[in-house]
Structure 1
């Protein structure tokens, strides 16, 4: 499961890469966590747009002790083997598919309580696109979730799942094709094109950063 990714590109760089308008009234966050804002690319009336949404579909539960509803949590990843079942209504509708621009994603490595961040980036795509789904929500406005597959053998020791990273020529199909064609894009990205960077940065050090600077939370 991916619970953190970074997008160091500017709105203008994303607009140029994904062929959208570059005029927007929001800042692009750098580090993105579940239930926090991130940027996606989707189609609206036949045109691509950049839109700020909340990462994660709301998931509801009931407190076993009190019987009262808990605060919603985020389902920020969608398993590939569930796309035809629990995710079907969004996956089979091209209008509910989107792209998540990112520059790297993080996984936790190490002993419990001492985990550090390991960053994985795409060597042949400085700004890559993660296949995703989106929908309107009452709780958080428009929200998105990223599609995951089994990790490659080379990355499996880091985590058993990885994002569905699309090749640039597949962007159009993910946003417009029927479900069968889109499903053919749900594959592992070649491991020899992924760079792994292990750091000493604690996994639990949460930071939200926008263009005006970082804010610790």
Structure 2
């Protein structure tokens, strides 16, 4: 899955990678959380000068997908991720897969490795970034939700797929990465039907990301500084030692947790 990410690229870097004609002065953000505004890249209506390709625009949307048919958002779960394997058929995402595919620029994302049930080890947070640096484009879906009073909210979800072998050591899901050479296909909702871009919804190459253990600061939305990406040494408690400690301390002893 993807529950937190960062985007620290400059407007110039975003314009160059995504072919944007312009980009807002989007401040560096190190701990982007669900329900917050995120940047997505969409295909515009007009064609680029001297090209048949549509122009691309960067827009801000709420991270938390809301299908257009939802009457009351209070009765609907927050959809921050969409499973690539089922998005084409799932009622919540079917229309967006056909008509509103977007790219989500990120510098990297955070993931948590949960200990096995019964383990005394705490969860461990990781900062997962491209091994070679730069910006990553996640596959995303966008929908505009309209309330009864006529107000509109643009919303989006990040698509996930089964994790590759390296990320699977942390979590069994990972975001879908769209490579620059495939941007046009993914964004082309006029001629490319969902089944024709399904091949893009695969795990990225094994060596694409590197995972760096970080502290539990990332768990708190209020922590927004670059220090949340500082590497730490993971805390590992040997199971035999932990079991003995539990016997000595009694049933009320508490283990520290990242959540």
TM-score bracket for the superposition, by shorter chain length: 0.7 to 0.9
Of 15-24 and 149-158, the range deviating more from structure 2: 15-24
Deviations 1:170-215 (A, max 9, x none): 11110013222211110000111211111123442223759xxxxx
Query: In the alignment, which residue of structure 1 is the partner of 2:7?
Result: 7
Are 2:145 and 1:108 equivalent residues in the alignment?
no
Deviations 1:134-190 (A, max 9, x none): 010136710111111000122212111000011110111100132222111100001
Of 159-168 and 109-118, the range deviating more from structure 2: 109-118
Q: Distance in 2 between matches of 1:40 and 1:208?
A: 23
Aligned pair partner of 2:138 in 118, 130, 147: 130
Structure with greater helix percent = 2
Structural RMSD (CA): 2.8
Query: In the alignment, which residue of structure 1 is the partner of 2:186?
Result: 174
TM-score by length of 1: 0.81
Query: In the alignment, which residue of structure 2 is the partner of 1:151?
Result: 163
Of 52-61 and 172-181, the range deviating more from structure 2: 52-61
Deviations 1:35-58 (A, max 9, x none): 101101001203200001111113
In structure 2, do the counterparts of structure 1 residues 21 and 31 end up closer, same or farther at CA, with 3 Å as the change threshold? farther
Gaps of at least 5 residues in structure 2 are: 46-53, 226-259
- 1:22 deviates by 2.3
Q: Distance in 2 between matches of 1:44 and 1:22?
A: 12
Structure with greater strand percent = 1
Structure showing greater Rg: 2
Q: Distance in 2 between matches of 1:207 and 1:22?
A: 30
* 3-state SS, counterpart of residue 58 of structure 1: coil
Residues 109 and 128, structure 2, Cα contact 8 Å, conserved in 1: yes
Aligned residues: 202
Q: Distance in 1 between matches of 2:35 and 2:137?
A: 20
